[in-house]
Amino acid sequence: MNSAPDESLPMGDPPLIEHPTPNGVTEIAQRLIRFPFTPPDVKLKKDDALSASKDWFTKHDKNEIDRLDNLDFYASSGPQCVGVVPKLHNTSAGMEIYQLPPTLSKETFEKTEGPYRAGVTKKYSNKRSGTKVAKFKVGTMAESGLACFYVSRLLGHLVEVPPAIYRTMDVQEFNKVGSQAGTTGHPDCTTAWANLRAMVKSDSPKILLPGGKLVFGSLAQNPRGENSSPEDYWTVGSIRGHSFYKVLSSKSPVANSLNLNDTTCLQDLALAQDMTRGVILDSIFRQVDRLGNISITVLQHYVTNDGKVKSDDKVSDKDKAETVSPFLPLKRIMYKDNDDGMQWGTSSITVSPILNETHHVDQTIYNRLQWLAGLMQDSEPGSDAKIKDYFVNVVHISGDNYDKLKASLIKQAASLKSRVDSKDVLVDLDFEGTMKRLYAKEGEAAQIKKAEAPGQ
């Protein structure tokens, strides 16, 4: 993404970034704010709200959110300058934010590549110059995407859900961009845009703040390194055919299905854990359109000399210096779009059969579900009210959607606990623990070497 955040800016101080507009109104972008509770398994340094491991909100999350916060929809040049154009493909309406090449001005890009282009704008694609760095959505889609990011972190940093922030946009800018979407590549997208324009015209409180000058929604990071899966993981039938699914659907312990003393087990173990975590998240959110919105990303996994398992799409010199294991390129599941959730009246969702046939879960998501469900039922004095306040005023979802999310999460926690208690589900998926154990000797040797080094 364009602008590098000021990493010295304290988390949550200030809580908002303001963006003055040419029309005299001020847009706001929400920064990351500390959650009022910390789960027992997360080890934080004193006075630090961010985890060094991918098990909670991380420094990387804060930095990516600050990058999103700093994007300026009006700057004509400089590091914060971006192109703002309508999404014209697939079925939903929204805006796409592009980092532009030096040879292309914002004005030219938005004028020439914003509208429908015959032969370029297609039903499911619309190639544009530059790099898409973010997507802006409004309404229930925005609330779903925002809440999914936060819940994914609360439950253990699940399935690489990309950061998303609450963001407002000048209604005049929204109308200007929306006017380019009279024709799109998909009839459903055309209809969705017509509906959005009508909502703005009628001053709908579902997408407009009081006063009618600002549209509110979510600005979500467009993930780097993600690809649609050539192996077609994402129909129920094809999922059932993959080797990692044989691990999930077996009622025998994971150790009976995989040789956990061999590094070749790690790929199936990683995807099995990701799939379980993902379908639990979708079940909580009643996400109806997941199978078309799962991607695969290849991350480099390694064990550090202090015993942590880390993963990233790029490897730095610092990473190379601290690893005690080889860098293992493993496929991981990424939930890139999370705006079709909160379908609370839906009795069946696409991933339901997968969850019903799953007989294994990892300790982190199981414990976190029980922890969060407990807090939502006042396991600590006043905890439910504090969490609701956080979701309404920091995450920016409606009180009604919070109440329904809470009920769904509590139901999922109780259902999973019942299945674990009856031994229908075993808590024995442990990707990180297995990888640590496989390279334990190398880690011990690194610790001995460090202890023997001069000055230690």
Q: How many whole angstroms separate alpha carbon 292 and alpha carbon 286?
A: 15
pLDDT at 77: 86
Q: What b/e readout covers 93-118, taking b as 16+ CB neighbours within 10 angstroms? A: bbbbbbbbeeeeebeebbeebbbbbe
pLDDT digits (tens, 9 = 90+) for 92-113: 999 999 999 999 999 999 999 9
Q: Is the pLDDT of residue 378 over 70?
A: yes
pLDDT reported for residue 52: 86
How does the average pLDDT of the chain come out, rounded?
A: 91
Q: What is the pLDDT of residue 267?
A: 96
128-140 residues labelled b (16+ CB within 10 A) or e (exposed) = bebeebbbbbbbb
pLDDT for the residue 446: 77
Please state, in angstroms and rounded to a whole number, the distance separating the CA atoms of residues 407 and 285. Answer: 10
Residues 6 or more apart whose Cβ sits within 8 Å of residue 341: 144, 147, 148, 282, 285, 286, 287, 288
Rounded CA separation 400/76 (Å): 39
Query: What does the pLDDT read at residue 12?
Result: 85
Q: Which residue has the tokens 């579902």?
A: 206
* pLDDT tens per residue, range 145-161: 999 999 999 999 999 99
Residue with tokens 């910390």: 38
Average pLDDT over residues 344-356: 83
Q: Is the pLDDT of residue 222 over 90?
A: no
- At 8 the pLDDT is 60
Q: Tell me how far apart the alpha carbons of residues 148 and 170 are, in angstroms, rounded to a whole number.
A: 25
Mean pLDDT to the nearest integer, 427-434: 97
Query: How many other CB atoms are found less than 10 A from the CB of residue 243?
Result: 12
User: Of residues 187 and 295, which shows the higher confidence score?
Assistant: 187
- pLDDT tens for 4-50 read 455 567 888 899 999 999 999 999 999 999 999 999 999 898 888 99
Per-residue model confidence as pLDDT tens digits over 240-253 = 989 999 999 999 99
- Residues of the chain with pLDDT > 90: what percent? 75
Q: What share of the chain is helix, strand, coil (3-state, %, to 5)?
A: 40, 20, 40
**Helix 265-285 / helix 139-154 crossing angle, nearest 10 deg:** 130
The residue-averaged pLDDT of 165-169 equals 98
pLDDT at res. 26:
98
